[in-house]
Chains A and B, each alone.
Chain A
């Protein structure tokens, strides 16, 4: 048998251990959270048997029902609006030569990623408080507008990436074959852009669904979304009902993220 030093150039001492500990650390709290949502008792630490009682109590809680519907409606409109305008913006910033003011526009589109949420939240509070007084309108419109704005970069980036990865010669080939600009877009660009648009819309949806800070500052009285409702609940005694709501929200997000992962990997 040949002798071997067993030397692996890729190994670094302790790295694998730390990495695996890291993965455990990332998942353990969430797994426990999910597990205790099925607890029969009222504790989030002592297991008293399996039960769906907290799901039932969340389901029957009118506030939770309203917050859920509001969250979904908000996420729907925010992702629809942000994705639509992001598609247009992505077309304007990738299908043309670099132009004056491009970096300013890029910075503006990505502003929600750079500015701390609390700063945006406070700024929106200041502006919308004044607008609410002037107009007397206190509907969901403010939240839709605010969510649409901070979802734009999340929708824009995957769409832009898709456009940049797209072979420009396909569009040239189409116009070489007598397709007018609108036909090129309809017949060539759009069909290939779909995965990017879908990915962008899903990201926007998840981001809107998860938002706490901006919603907390912009919402009018009685406009709780699921996350702000939960934040409010944390001041009280915590029961596994919050775990149950969290688990449902988690399930939606994780499904979306995994779907996003596969959609963004779809054939180019």
Chain B
């Protein structure tokens, strides 16, 4: 278990002072696949490097199973890193790269050979053992980097955007592969990425970061279905933002009034204000229908065909715009046309009130 408590990292001073990490507190559980998700510059990599020991925080503590990690230099921490650039030693072979950490730990030769063989089998690189790292493909380098970091059997594996250099197809395969390795080895993975899809498919829990702070922590489904604030809702997936007014709150459900005057139940969020709020509704959670009896009436402005689905851009009567996403059926053209009067409906409880 890693506990990060109140960690701040400041660069510069005075006017140019910049907080790469701003009072970050998070607990990462044993054996979980934990993802730090956020746009570039949000501090996710800095947090990873604080845990690895390459960055000394300005204040705060980091402990692992109760022991202070910050006192230890990188080479004494029981964590290993898979670097974004892989950082494979170019003058060593695949086998020598994987053996490096074990040699540094002073393991007996026989044990090193055995572990390295196991690791190469685990990442399916046995045939490439004596290649130079410059002679293997990007995907293979990625697997060697993984095997090298796993070989010393660290308690925690840190992965710094390890898939970003791979092409689309390979990335998909590696996502499944990584998840399999994590389940098989039982090692805690802390994974840094800016790719929301990667985060959603692999993680047990996700921490969404922005401007050096953690915005929301939760399971992928939590984060997607119930974003706590506008940044999270906007960063992950597409979202419609609607002005709304909270009328009442009871038993974890709030009743809101939309701009059109219609009223519907929505999910509340801790820390949201009273009265005027913003409601988030995912495009695929809403449906397009006739104007009569709909929650939000408006005029259809645009129909954009995407293959798997179609996006309907609606100009609401109040002046806002709204996108509805509907799955396509084979050979069935859209029943509506641009310029038609339409109505938008979504079920109670789907809308999420946001903290601003």
Contacts and interface: CB of A to CB of B under 8 A. Distances in A.
Direct A/B contact, Cβ within 8 angstroms: yes
B139 interface: no
Contact of B87 (A169, A187, A192): A169
A207 B90 CA distance: 32
A39 to B, nearest CB: 50
Nearest to B49: A172
Pick from B52, B73, B101, B149 the residue with the most CB of A within 10 Å. Answer: B101
B83 A177 contact: no
Interface stretch (B1-9, B74-82, B168-176, B340-348): B74-82
A179 interface: yes
B355 to A, nearest CB: 37
A173 B90 contact: no
Given A169-B83, A172-B83, A267-B90, A178 B105 contact: yes
B100 A267 contact: no
B349 interface: no
A267 B91 CA distance: 10
Given A169-B85, A172-B54, A172-B83, A177 B104 contact: yes
A183 interface: yes
Interface residues of B, number: 27
Interface size class of A (residues with CB under 8 A): 10 to 19
A169 B161 CA distance: 14
A177 B80 contact: yes
Contacts of A191: 91
B155 to A, nearest CB: 13
A173 B104 CA distance: 12
Interface string A246-268: 00000000000000000000011
Given A177-B80, A180-B75, A172 B87 contact: yes
Contacts of A167: 85, 87
B257 interface: no
A25 B76 CA distance: 62
B85 A176 contact: no
Contacts of B89: 170, 173-174, 188
B134 interface: yes
A203 to B, nearest CB: 23
B75 A172 contact: no
8 contacts: A170-B90, A173-B81, A173-B88, A174-B104, A175-B53, A177-B100, A188-B89, A191-B91
Interface of A: 167, 169-170, 172-180, 183, 187-188, 191-192, 267-268
Given A176-B53, A177-B152, 9 more contacts: A169-B87, A170-B87, A173-B83, A173-B87, A177-B80, A177-B101, A178-B76, A183-B104, A191-B91
